[in-house]
Amino acid sequence: MNIEFLILLLMLGGFVGIMAGLLGIGGGLIVVPALILLLPMAGIDPQISMQIALATSLASIIVTSGSSAFNHFKLGNVDIFVVKWLMPGVVIGGFLGANVADWIPSHYLPKVFGVIVLLLAIQMLLSIKGKSERVMPGSGATMAIGTGIGMVSSLAGIGGGSLSVPFLNRHGIEMRRAVGSSSVCGCFIAMSGMLGFILNGYKVDALPDYSIGYVYLPALIAITSTSMLTTRFGAKLATTMPTARLKKIFAIFLMFVAGTMLL
């Protein structure tokens, strides 16, 4: 740990907080690529840097999404039906995804992550012009979809907003409420995914100091110390910004992240 590394992590956390409140993401779409670049500055073994980035990202999402969800709840942007029936699925899927990520070779994980995010960005751009006539599926189907969202999200070290926001909006949930509900679910995805990475990390001998499983505590503390302060600004922007513009920002952001991970 050095001062340059610490300052970069604090700046990362501030940016993550704003984006979490604005887009309903937990921040993993930013934190994972950033940590892959920054962790070598702390002397962390490249062979386990992807797993550490994923686990630390999920741990930070607990704080970031929790803060974002609280602000959105106060603003009336949370759909109770969505949270009630997505929640059990995303928790189960989050834990499963962490175990699957531990089996996949590290060099494949960024490519999987990039492809998933690119497809989500394309879907979001295509949905801007038309208004969906679909309605939310029943409780059982919603729970099953939640399991898939939780598994893929944990596998990519994200809070699920990049998956759940397009899904909810496509099924008639207004964009601001989709963002707010996604923040609530993202917090629980991160909890279950982080637990899986902690348990799997204890099997590894080459972990850096100040780690709990694959969770790297210095990075976690630095990122969350600023992100929890800035989520309210993003939540206010999400409430006042036109829905079409919010979709465009979300899609462009996803394409940028996908390109970064694929290239």
170-229, pLDDT tens digit by residue? 788 887 888 888 888 888 888 999 999 999 888 888 888 899 999 999 999 999 999 888
Give the pLDDT confidence of 96-152 residue by residue, as tens digits: 988 887 787 767 877 877 887 788 778 767 766 655 557 777 888 888 999 999 988
Confidence of residue 1 (pLDDT cuts 50, 70, 90): low
Contact between 59 and 191 under an 8 Å Cβ cutoff? The reply is no
pLDDT at 130: 54
Token pair recorded at residue 53? 């980035």
pLDDT at 218: 92
pLDDT at 147: 93
b/e sequence 182-203, b meaning 16+ C-beta within 10 Å: bbbbbbbbbbbbbbbbbebbee
Confidence of residue 24 (pLDDT cuts 50, 70, 90): low
Q: What is the pTM of this model?
A: 0.78
| Cα end-to-end distance, the chain, whole Å | 28
Give the pLDDT confidence of 54-111 residue by residue, as tens digits: 899 999 888 877 877 888 888 888 888 888 888 889 999 999 988 887 787 767 877 8
